[in-house]
Amino acid sequence: MRVLEGRVAIVTGAASGIGRATAITLAAHGASVLATDIDRDGGDETVRRIDAAGGCSRFLTHDVTSEGEWRDVVAAALRTHGRLDILVNNAGIAIGMPVTETSLEAWNRQVAVNLTGTFLGCRYAIPAIRQGGRGGAIVNVSSIAGLEGAAGLAAYCATKGGVRVFTKAVAKECAAARDGIRVNSVHPGIIDTPIWARMDPGLPDVDELRTRPGANALSPDVIAARGAPLGRAGRPEEVAAAILFLVSDAASYITGVELVVDGGWTA
């Protein structure tokens, strides 16, 4: 079912993980997708997969902390497709360390990407969506770390908690404007994505963790088995399915909510 036929979407952080899965899923359901990321090689691969499946996509190199680049990305959507209907603010980073060892530079970097990037996306996408007069949907990707604390991830938790409440405020602004724009957040739990390898430069990648005898204690599957009632790490496609629901007409009366996709972790 091509429930997004004729709609135009921007998906940030689309070079891998949840962003890639989301771009592929939205395109498979009919959306024309602008996939953005700082990783050109990964972004090109995402677009290759979409195109091979018969979808419509384009990759744009995009630093979400840059106001100028946000202007350019939104302008590209309007120039190419004449409209913008959907924004998925997914780009994010996680730097894991105790708060007493977190440098100001590391703190500011996480705030810039995770929180300021989300703000800038909404700041520039909302007027573009309003311009079409058809309404639209924004999904901001937060985390269960935006719902509860996690030792060693204080800065990450702060940014993702900020995304959660920011989303609710923007949802109320759009509702008050009667512009038909819905704004929701998604809160993934332990999802099997490359962010695990990036959290600490000393960690091997997820595939190596999974195949190593006695699996490393930081592997997504091991962590999820300790805390998620479903007993496994989630897949990026499972988060993408939740995002698809929120941007589709099936969620037409849903705004300002936090949809948790965590295998029961926070239950």
Beta strands in 86-210 (DSSP E): 86-89, 136-141, 181-188
Nearest to 140 by CA among 86, 193, 178, 95: 86
| pLDDT of 84 over the 70 cut | yes
Q: Which residues are catalytic?
A: 156
17 vs 133: CA distance, rounded Å: 32
Provide the pLDDT for residue 137: 99
| pLDDT of 123 over the 60 cut | yes
- Judge whether 266 lies within some domain: no
Whole-number Cα distances in Å, 263 to 11, 148, 181, 187, 226 = 24, 15, 29, 11, 11
- Judge whether 2 lies within some domain: no
Burial class (CB in 10 A: 0-12, 13-18, 19+), 174: buried
- Judge whether 59 lies within some domain: yes
Token pair of 52 as six digits:
């091979």
Domain range for 49 is: 8-261
Nearest to 20 by CA among 38, 41, 46, 44: 46
Average pLDDT rounded to a whole number, residues 169-185:
98
Other Cβ atoms within 10 Å of 66 Cβ, number: 16
- Judge whether 92 lies within some domain: yes
Whole-number Cα distances in Å, 84 to 37, 50, 81, 110, 199 = 18, 19, 8, 27, 33
Provide the pLDDT for residue 224: 72
Contact between 5 and 32 (Cβ < 8 Å): no
Total number of domains in the chain: 1
Provide the pLDDT for residue 198: 56
The mean pLDDT of the chain is: 91
| pLDDT of 76 over the 70 cut | yes
Provide the pLDDT for residue 212: 44
User: What proportion of the chain, given as a percentage, has pLDDT over 90?
Assistant: 83
Higher pLDDT, residue 222 or 166: 166
- Judge whether 104 lies within some domain: yes
Average pLDDT rounded to a whole number, residues 87-111:
96
240 vs 146: CA distance, rounded Å: 18
Contact between 260 and 266 (Cβ < 8 Å): yes
| pLDDT of 161 over the 60 cut | yes
Provide the pLDDT for residue 59: 98
Provide the pLDDT for residue 201: 37
Provide the pLDDT for residue 227: 80
Place of tokens 């988060």: 239
| pLDDT of 217 over the 80 cut | no
Higher pLDDT, residue 136 or 222: 136
Contact between 65 and 91 (Cβ < 8 Å): no
Q: Tens digits of per-residue pLDDT, 3-44?
A: 999 999 999 999 999 999 999 999 999 999 999 999 999 999
Written as one letter, the residue type at 135 is G
Provide the pLDDT for residue 203: 35
* CATH number, domain with residue 248: 3.40.50.720
154 vs 16: CA distance, rounded Å: 24
Average pLDDT rounded to a whole number, residues 141-147:
97
Provide the pLDDT for residue 223: 72
Q: Tens digits of per-residue pLDDT, 184-201?
A: 999 999 999 877 655 543
Q: Which of 33-37, 58-62, 130-134, 228-232 has the lowest mean pLDDT?
A: 228-232
